[in-house]
Structure 1
């Protein structure tokens, strides 16, 4: 059987860079620089090239463009946590939304990199070291990962959401004043009249956990109160519940509880209810974060508001500044604020 091909329906050849240059009345090199965003192109030439690109429907080859610009137009959101932690904590959804909003406006692709301990972490570091992305935003980092040292050593543009443990003079970060927030939470309980106040602290290998505990201790000592009722949790509901159970067993006279995250406070409320302790009549509770959980608990949580969305957006802006040649070691710290609800 002979197949007859209608030449009229053949796909038209794709426009080339040479055709764009001819239509714009510039050299091929000038057309390439204009398309790839190089600075040494006159406004008149850039305008002519843009018009030719639109008229011809020209689409640059991504691989060729990457060779010219040495850019991938993609940014990694690095989350050194397991996927079950990622999908159970609204902190990550709020962070992802803020970062995506800023990067999308700049037409940058976001790549999510999850890495638990072991092989996953090494695979992630290889990916970053091989420059498959232009820069990285790191959230929820732990002391053992040493990511700030790793990324600073690579010379990779990066921003941390939350103060890193090391290399703070070599990398950028955005944070909230967790020491002040820990103090505010505790002072709210003291002002209510609580005198035997415990805390479910955050992980000791995360700067947020350490700083919030420091703020709690500062407020307790300033008020002349004992600061021995401390159990560390892991920023999860289950961790908060287990820590609150231990605190109640060791300190049954507690009348106030400062919890270093709202998710842990949800677990603590369950432990208090199971122990027959009414909130806030028997034990007043203050959480931390205010990212959608606190107003849905029973009773609704008094909590410290951490501007997670603003922090994520600012981290993305700082990274873009670095990609545009700006400074590498910037820091921005947002103030926390107390949100009063029925639990305290």
Structure 2
């Protein structure tokens, strides 16, 4: 008993013959459908379905000089990836937005010098079509400069400090979000408002602290400012510093939710009630904020929209358009902590 020979893989010529159009028309349909009449487009799509034709991604990538993938570049340590849920939300949103275009997302960690070197080599070697830069730090300018000098299309999450004119970005309105918090606390009668600032080499850290300083005005008390690195432990450490060096704090604005949760841990240890003695407000609206005791008042960043806008702007840059910047409004979410 002999087995029949396997059926040969359908080719573009087979689709063209089935649809009754030229090979070039089929190629234009496969590359976006530009300059193709509606009737020809319908005929080609029907022929593709009937013949079972599938695009050979390797051949298409060679023909278009495209890698057909996008990098999700996280310039943080692996520990931060798992500690901060915002990164997972952004990555999932970006992956979903790219899936519509049948483009895979590749995660690349670059939290150490060695990781940044390897990431730079990979990105500038043409292995991806573009980069979504997450958590850019001004102190890590090398990898950003290399991406720009190599001409790799890239969009940052938050303004890339020092490169705002050279790289497009999508950012939440950090300044106005922070001012909303401070107005809310003052309207609620809070007078001694302290802040736990984020990293000074990030756009979020600088803009939220700038809003705090503008709110305090000329009478600002530097003893009410402590520094954190966006981790929960740093928020706890900063809160201990604040309690140790100044009195009568009645509110704390932390530059992100994880630091706010760390501050709440320390306030409870010190026997202070929240919000009775000290009101606490964060920034981000991570899922655990609702589960805190008491639930955390915070500023919601629309991470789903941020990731969608980042993908949209990146695909524009990949197609040859100039980089753009988008700022998205935030929302104050009032819960029991303030």
Whether TM exceeds 0.5 here: the answer is yes
Residue in structure 1 matched with residue 52 of structure 2 by the alignment:
57
Which residue of 77, 80, 89 maps to 2:84? 89
Q: 1:172 aligns with which of 134, 146, 168?
A: 168
> Which 5+ residue runs of structure 2 have no aligned equivalent?
none
Give the secondary-structure state (helix, strand or coil) at the position aligned to 2:49: helix
Q: Residues 40-189 of structure 1: matches in 2 within 5 Å?
A: 41=36, 43-146=38-141, 147-189=143-185
Quote the residue 1:280 is aligned against.
275
CA distance in 2, matches of 1:176, 1:162: 7
Q: Is the 8 A contact 1:185 1:216 kept in 2?
A: no
1:236 aligned residue = 231
TM-score of the superposed pair, with normalisation by structure 1: 0.91
- Quote the residue 2:305 is aligned against: 310
- Once the two structures are TM-superposed, the CA of residue 64 in structure 1 deviates from its matched residue by 1.0
Q: Aligned Cα RMSD in Å?
A: 2.1
Counterpart of 1:293 in 2: which secondary structure?
Answer: helix
| 2:202 maps to 1:202 | no
Structure 1 residue runs without a partner (length 5+): none
Q: Return the offset for 1:90.
A: 1.4
**Other structure's SS at 1:304 match:** strand
Using the TM superposition, name which of 141-150 and 268-277 deviates more: 141-150
Aligned residues: 337
Tell me if structure 2 keeps the 8 A contact 1:163–1:174: yes
Q: Which stretch has the larger CA shift, 56-65 or 11-20? A: 11-20
How far does the alpha carbon of each residue in 1:256-284 deviate from its partner, in whole angstroms, 9 at most, with x for none?
11111111111111111111111111111
- Corresponding residue SS for 1:72: coil
SS of 1:278's equivalent?
A: coil
**SS where residue 287 of structure 2 aligns?**
coil
Contact 2:213 2:220 in 1 (8 A): no
Query: Could you list the per-position Cα deviations for residues 82-105 of structure 1 after superposition, in whole angstroms to 9, with x for gaps in the alignment?
Result: 221111111112212221222112
Q: State the alpha-carbon separation in 2 of the partners of residues 60 and 337 from structure 1.
A: 44
In the alignment, what sits opposite 2:332?
338
> Contact (CA 8 Å) 1:201, 1:209: kept in 2 or not?
yes
Pick aligned residue for 1:257 from 247, 252, 259: 252
Contact 2:223–2:242 (8 Å) recurs in 1 = no
Quote the residue 2:211 is aligned against: 215
Cα deviation digits, residues 20-61 of structure 1 (max 9, x gap): 333334444544343333745555554443333222112222
Q: For the residues of structure 2 that align with 1:225 and 1:192, how far apart are their CA atoms?
A: 19
Cα distance change on mapping 1:292 and 1:271 into 2, 3 Å: same
Contact 1:21 1:31 in 2 (8 A): yes
